[in-house]
């Protein structure tokens, strides 16, 4: 983000690393504002950038599309449907938008989404990591967020976690079919089964934000924003920071 996460200052950029953590390009793509969640699909990297979604051609590192999302204020994470629909969460506005044929619209909004942060598509469900209910301007909440699904057709909500889990942020689906989700405020990483069993994988972070997952190597990537570094862990064993 390289600055205020809500300010359009053109200071933001995307870095590129090897799987061993060596910098390939410090500013692989520049000219962004405060890029947050991103997801690749068919050679295009879709990036949430405050109030627009940016499409970047991975092969050339060129910005191909900038899609303004009316009614947004803090676009946060990106998910891609099987049909190529791009979904993007807005935590501040309490909405999930969808982009079809480069046309944005509201997919779902309101308290049902628990201030949506991390999102991903799993089958015919949109999986959502909620920041919490009763969201206030200072990002405080009345009740911590749950991990839950939204049916992409009926928009029916189904809780995965049996009770509120935390200020949930990053979200990934592992090779074993479990979810890994970060609790940004508490500095924790959880593994959550599809039946709602919660296991703490790591603690002690300063702002554990939007995580990443390298499926072929079963490696979890954790941006530790308060420490200004990224850690990588094998999910074959319990991780410790």
Average pLDDT, the chain: 94
Predicted TM-score of the model (pTM): 0.94
Grouping H, G, I as helix, E, B as strand and the rest as coil, residue 111 is helix
Question: 7 in a domain, yes or no?
Answer: no
Q: How crowded is residue 208: how many other Cβ atoms within 10 Å of its Cβ?
A: 28
Structure tokens at 139: 């990002």
Mean predicted confidence (pLDDT) in 1-13 = 92
Which residue do the tokens 């991390």 mark? 118
Task: Note the pLDDT of residue 20.
Answer: 85
Nearest residue to 185 via CA among 145, 236, 149, 156 = 145
Q: In what order do the strands lie in the sheet with 188-192?
A: 168-173, 179-183, 188-192, 198-202
Task: Note the pLDDT of residue 238.
Answer: 46
Which residue do the tokens 């909440």 mark? 141
Mean predicted confidence (pLDDT) in 44-68 = 97
Residue 176 and residue 174: Cα distance in Å, rounded? 5
* pLDDT of 239 over the 50 cut: no
Which residue do the tokens 């619209």 mark? 105
CB 87, CB 80: distance < 8 Å: yes
* pLDDT of 113 over the 90 cut: yes
Query: What's the structural domain count of the chain?
Result: 1
- What is the percent of the chain with per-residue pLDDT over 90, rounded to a whole number? 87
- What is the percent of the chain with per-residue pLDDT over 70, rounded to a whole number? 98
Model confidence pLDDT, tens digit, residues 149-178 = 999 999 999 999 999 999 999 999 998 899
Question: 138 in a domain, yes or no?
Answer: yes
Question: 241 in a domain, yes or no?
Answer: no
Mean predicted confidence (pLDDT) in 219-226 = 92
Ranking 99-113, 130-144, 227-241 by mean pLDDT, the lowest is: 227-241
Question: 133 in a domain, yes or no?
Answer: yes
CB 99, CB 52: distance < 8 Å: no
Mean predicted confidence (pLDDT) in 30-48 = 96
What domain range is 174 assigned to? 110-234
Task: Note the pLDDT of residue 159.
Answer: 98
Task: Note the pLDDT of residue 7.
Answer: 92
Task: Note the pLDDT of residue 217.
Answer: 87
Question: 38 in a domain, yes or no?
Answer: no
Question: 105 in a domain, yes or no?
Answer: no
* pLDDT of 241 over the 60 cut: no
Q: Kindly list the distances between the CA atom of residue 235 and the CA atoms of 21, 62, 207, in Å, as whole numbers in the listed order.
A: 17, 33, 20
Question: 216 in a domain, yes or no?
Answer: yes
For residue 53, the Cα-to-chain-centroid distance in whole angstroms is: 13
Q: How confident is the model at residue 237 (pLDDT cuts 50, 70, 90)?
A: low
Task: Note the pLDDT of residue 19.
Answer: 83
How do the residues of the chain divide into helix, strand and coil, expressed in percent and rounded to 5? Answer: 0, 55, 45
Q: Kindly list the distances between the CA atom of residue 1 and the CA atoms of 4, 50, 58, in Å, as whole numbers in the listed order.
A: 7, 10, 19
* pLDDT of 240 over the 90 cut: no
CATH code at position 180: 2.130.10.10
Q: How crowded is residue 85: how many other Cβ atoms within 10 Å of its Cβ?
A: 17
Question: 79 in a domain, yes or no?
Answer: no
Q: Read out DSSP for 33-70?
A: SS---EEEETTEEEEEEBTEEEEEETTTTEEEEEEE-T
């Amino acid at each position: 983000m390289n600055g205020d996460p809500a300010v359009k200052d053109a200071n933001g950029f995307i870095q590129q690393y090897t799987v061993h953590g060596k910098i390939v390009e410090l500013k692989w793509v520049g000219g962004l504002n405060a890029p947050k969640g991103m997801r690749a699909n068919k050679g295009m990297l879709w990036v949430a950038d405050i109030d627009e979604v940016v499409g970047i051609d991975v092969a050339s590192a060129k910005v191909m599309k900038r899609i303004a999302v009316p009614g947004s204020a803090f676009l946060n994470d990106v998910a891609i449907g099987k049909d190529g629909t791009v979904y993007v969460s807005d935590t501040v506005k309490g909405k999930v938008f969808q982009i079809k044929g480069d046309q944005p619209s509201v997919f779902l909004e309101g308290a049902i989404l628990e201030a949506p942060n991390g999102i991903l598509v799993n089958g015919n469900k949109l999986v959502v990591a909620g920041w919490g209910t009763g969201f206030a301007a200072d990002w405080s909440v009345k009740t911590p967020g749950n991990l839950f699904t939204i049916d992409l057709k009926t928009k029916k909500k189904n809780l995965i976690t049996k009770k509120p889990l935390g200020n949930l942020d990053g979200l990934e689906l592992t090779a074993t079919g479990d979810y890994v989700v970060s609790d940004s405020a508490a500095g924790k990483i959880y593994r959550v089964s599809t039946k709602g069993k919660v296991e703490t994988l790591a603690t002690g972070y300063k702002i554990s934000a939007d995580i990443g997952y390298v499926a072929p190597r079963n490696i979890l990537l954790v941006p530790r924003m308060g420490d200004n570094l990224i850690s990588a862990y094998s999910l074959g064993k319990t991780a410790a920071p």
